[in-house]
Structure 1
Amino acid sequence: MSLTERTFLVVVHTLRSDVGATVAQIRELLDAAGVNMKLESDVQEAPDDAAVGCEVVVVLGGDGGFLRGAELARRADVPIIGINLGHVGFLAESEVDTVPETIGDLVHRRYTVHPRMTLDVAIHDGDDLVAEGWALNEVSVENRSRQGLLELVTEVDDRPVSRFACDGLLVATPTGSTAYAFSAGGPVMWPDLEALLIVPSNAHALFSRPMVTSPRSTIAIEVESRRHEAIAFCDGRRTLEVPERGRIEIRRGADPVRFIKLGAAPFTDRLVHKFQLPITGWRGRQDGGEPRDGTGIGG
């Protein structure tokens, strides 16, 4: 492929007033490299096929914009990278002050692509399949009215696990473990782990701990109560109607989202940086595994 045939899709959030200068900077860098830039100035309104024919998707913004960009990238089966303009931006690979370096790496293909696990969700009314969807972070089953508690039965691989009343229940990927599931009390899972995470939200039960299952498992949630209607949210963006006493089945998604990774910094560094974790006093190994005092103990 020649440089003139290459196209990057850049998507931004129109609500951000500080994005114009960054878009202009990226356009100038791509023009200089002979790479076409396709711009969608409102990521929420971008057509579903916007990334078709593009080499990469570049999202300017926070995690909300990235999740919409992931929809476009997944549909076109192209990799995606986020440049953080938000506060935490956990899904973003780089920051706005490193735009020249990031674009240079993309132009010269100095990156690796890591497929991230997704979820496929199916809603059943008795024997009938009534709705389907997918998620990168999580599927959240919640009380539609936000009043009272849902009565749910959880099932793993065709066997019941527990019944409880709760505000809702989340099934998350490792990528989504640092999002809603984390806020609900779930563990942090490294993104290269393949597993499914189940996190009840404010459950009234003796056993309501988060659970981690095999990536080959099928998670099912049955809505027992007739008093409260449920609804399923995919990444907090796409809603699926759940019929009365409906059944939600969730399993590993058939199509991953392909994340672009720059450099070799591990996920641990991102976790510490994004959550501003205290690490003062660490005496671990430095610079390629060599102990700081050369003794093999650390100092």
Structure 2
Amino acid sequence: MTARHILVVAHTGRRETLDAAVAVCGLLRDAGVVPVVDPEALNDLRGATGGHEFRVLGTDPAAGEIGVGDIELAIVLGGDGTILRAAELVRGGSAPLLGINLGHVGFLAESERDDLGSAVGRALDRDYLVEERMTLSVRVKLDNEIIHETWALNEATVEKASRERMLDVVVEVDGRPLSSFGCDGVVMATPTGSTAYAFSAGGPIVWPSLDALLLVPLSAHALFARPLVVGPNSSLAVELLDRTPGLGILWCDGRRAFDLPIGARVVARRSSTPVRLARLHQGPFTDRLVRKFALPVTGWRGPIDPPTDAAPATGAIALPRPGATAGGGAGA
């Protein structure tokens, strides 16, 4: 029988999260599943368990490392930042991410800390849906030469590199210039990222079931610098003008940075590789907004019973439990 490998990703710098990671690894071992950890957390986990050996995510099978293609599921313990890190780790594989919020808002997380045991149990039973979230393919061009390529789940942001200097940019949609202005930066986001940086900058919240791209200027000095929502097959671009007084920097998901030379052009398109999220509940996105942002809904007198024709979010795939069908599984 082929061994099952589940990746455990945790912000081990927090004692509570480290303890939760140790508990999850124990539950997986007890069920006959091999827990896999990322190299950054290895020493912390060994220290917390008295030197217990762990299988490590990597690219060297001869050293006992487990490749990303062999990961069935990633259980992520922490906030949205930890989930974004986990998305980096499983990029190139098909493993979905099951987020358990041990941070603050945890908008991408599926469960809260009180549901830890139940969430792990359902993961072991493969009792979840998989929802695919759009990502961005991002290129930096200079004189028509590609000098950098990356990706983003939430957003790609062109920002000024120094606080005292602004950027002069031209924004472009579908290969055509739209407007130029001075600004602190420009956010190019996915629907998933509409509740992150783009939201803080005044952009609209876009339901994740909608395929679209967002462009949100940051502190623009212009009469026409409104947030834009375009179709999923469109391309967005931000070009640093030669007259710009400051240097720019590209940030993807607030984690990966690239210094932008004058004249650089950052192009964002829909990527062909989505991020897969494991979902334990099929509740509407509206409820998630209310819960995560603690929105006031007291006094609402809507329908008592939910609509009978409600469907799961676009892109959600029901996975069979073990034994239901041959070959069924999160990594299939």
- TM-score using structure 1 length: 0.91
Other-structure match for 2:281:
263
Q: What amino acid maps onto 2:212 in structure 1?
A: A
Other-structure match for 1:293:
none
For the pair 1:285 / 2:285, whether they are aligned, the reply is: no
Other-structure match for 2:142:
125
Q: Find the residue that maps to 1:186 and give its secondary structure.
A: coil
- CA shift at 1:267, angstroms? 1.3
Q: What amino acid maps onto 2:304 in structure 1?
A: Q
Other-structure match for 1:183:
200
- Tell which deviates more after alignment, 236-245 or 134-143: 236-245
For the pair 1:253 / 2:271, whether they are aligned, the reply is: yes
Q: Find the residue that maps to 1:271 and give its secondary structure.
A: helix
What aligned pairs does 1:1-299 form with structure 2 within 5 A after superposition? 2=1, 5-40=3-38, 42=40, 51-224=68-241, 225-289=243-307
Q: Find the residue that maps to 1:269 and give its secondary structure.
A: helix
- Structure 1 distance, partners of 2:92, 2:58, is 7
C-alpha change, 1:152 and 1:270, in structure 2 (3 Å) is same
Contact 1:74 1:258 in 2 (8 A): no
Q: What amino acid maps onto 1:196 in structure 2?
A: L
Q: Find the residue that maps to 1:18 and give its secondary structure.
A: helix
- TM-score using structure 2 length: 0.82
Q: Which runs of 5+ in 2 are unaligned?
A: 44-55, 60-66, 309-332
Contact 1:122 1:129 in 2 (8 A): yes
Q: Find the residue that maps to 1:24 and give its secondary structure.
A: helix
- CA shift at 1:33, angstroms? 2.0
Q: What amino acid maps onto 2:114 in structure 1?
A: D
Q: Find the residue that maps to 2:292 and give its secondary structure.
A: helix
* Count of aligned residue pairs for this structure pair: 288
Contact 2:8 2:25 in 1 (8 A): no
- Structure 1 distance, partners of 2:10, 2:307, is 40
- Structure 2 distance, partners of 1:8, 1:152, is 44
Contact 2:186 2:218 in 1 (8 A): yes
C-alpha change, 1:43 and 1:180, in structure 2 (3 Å) is farther
The C-alpha deviation readout for 1:168-226, integer Å capped at 9, x for no partner, is: 00000000000000000001111111000000000010011100001100111111134
- Structure 2 distance, partners of 1:87, 1:229, is 33
The C-alpha deviation readout for 1:200-258, integer Å capped at 9, x for no partner, is: 00001001110000110011111113421111101011112222111111110121111
C-alpha change, 1:287 and 1:212, in structure 2 (3 Å) is same
Q: Percent identity?
A: 49
Other-structure match for 1:297:
none
Q: Find the residue that maps to 1:67 and give its secondary structure.
A: helix
Q: What amino acid maps onto 1:186 in structure 2?
A: G
